[in-house]
Chains A and B, each alone.
Chain A
Amino acid sequence: MVRKEKFTPLQILALTLFAIYALLPLWWVIVTIFKDNGQLFSTFGLWFGNKSYLSENLNTLFTRQDGIFTRWAVNSIVYAGTTALGSVVVSAMAGYAFSAYEFKGKDALFGLILATIMVPSTALVLPLFLMMQKMGLLNTYWAVILPGLVNPFGLYLMRLFWDAGFPKDLMEAARIDGAGEWTIFQRLGLPLVRGGLVTVGLFAFVAAWNNFFLPLVAVSREDLFPLTLGLSVWNQTSSSSGQEPIYTVIVLGSLISILPLVLAFLTLGRYWQGGLANGAVKG
Chain B
Amino acid sequence: MVVSRPYLPRTPAVKPSRGTPWLFLSPFLVLFTLFYIAPVMYAGYLSLFIKKRAGFGAAKEVFGGMANYVRAFQDTEFLSSLLNILKFGVVQIPIMMLVATALALVLDAAKNRLQGVFRTAFYLPYTIPSVIAGLLWGYLYSKNLSPFNQIVTALGGGRVDFLGSDIVLWSIANIVTWTWTGYNMITLYAALQNIPTDLYEAARIDGASPWQLTRDIKLPLLKPSLLLVLIFSIIGTMQVFAEPFVLRPLGYVPDNITPNTYLYLVASRDGNFSYAATLAILLAIFTFLMSAVFLRFTRRGGEL
Contact = CB atoms under 8 A, between A and B. Distances in A.
A181 interface: yes
A167 B264 CA distance: 48
Interface stretch (A57-65, A66-74, A192-200, A251-259): A251-259
B136 to A, nearest CB: 5
Closest 8 CB pairs of A and B: A45-B147, A277-B190, A175-B13, A94-B28, A123-B280, A97-B24, A101-B21, A210-B129
A236 B241 CA distance: 16
A259 to B, nearest CB: 10
B152 to A, nearest CB: 12
Interface in B248-284: 249-250, 260, 263-264, 267, 273, 276-277, 280-281, 283-284
A86 B152 CA distance: 50
A5 B112 contact: yes
A279 B136 CA distance: 31
B216 interface: no
A280 interface: yes
Interface string A83-108: 00000011101101110110100100
Given A120-B235, A250-B135, 15 more contacts: A15-B107, A25-B140, A26-B124, A28-B147, A45-B140, A45-B150, A120-B260, A123-B281, A146-B31, A150-B31, A150-B36, A235-B138, A258-B129, A281-B224, A281-B225
A167 to B, nearest CB: 15
B48 interface: no
Interface of A: 1-7, 11-12, 14-15, 18-19, 21-23, 25-26, 28-29, 32, 40-41, 44-46, 89-91, 93-94, 96-98, 100-101, 103, 106, 113, 115-131, 146-147, 149-150, 152, 155, 172, 175-176, 178, 181, 185, 206, 209-210, 212-213, 228-229, 231-232, 235-236, 239-240, 247, 250-251, 254, 257-258, 261-262, 264-266, 269, 273-274, 276-277, 279-283
B136 A251 contact: yes
B27 interface: yes
A231 B147 contact: no
Interface in B130-146: 130-133, 135-140, 144-146
A120 B239 contact: yes
Contacts of B10: 176
B220 interface: no
Contacts of A46: 147
B36 A124 contact: yes
A279 B228 contact: yes
A261 B280 contact: no
Contact of B273 (A91, A117, A126, A152): A126
21 contacts: A2-B213, A3-B108, A4-B110, A11-B106, A98-B25, A116-B40, A118-B291, A123-B40, A123-B277, A124-B39, A127-B43, A147-B35, A152-B36, A175-B15, A176-B11, A181-B16, A210-B129, A231-B131, A235-B135, A251-B136, A282-B224
A276 B18 contact: no
B166 interface: no
Interface string B198-218: 001100100000000100000
Interface of B: 10-16, 18, 20-22, 24-25, 27-29, 31-32, 34-36, 38-40, 42-43, 46, 99, 102-103, 106-112, 114, 118, 120-125, 127-133, 135-140, 144-147, 150, 178, 181-182, 186-188, 190-191, 193-194, 197, 200-201, 204, 213, 224-225, 227-229, 235, 238-239, 241-242, 245-246, 249-250, 260, 263-264, 267, 273, 276-277, 280-281, 283-284, 287-288, 291
A231 B241 CA distance: 16
A29 B137 CA distance: 10
Contacts, number: 293
Contact of B121 (A22, A185, A209, A276): A22
Given A40-B145, A46-B147, A150-B35, A15 B106 contact: yes
Nearest to A89: B27
B123 A265 contact: yes
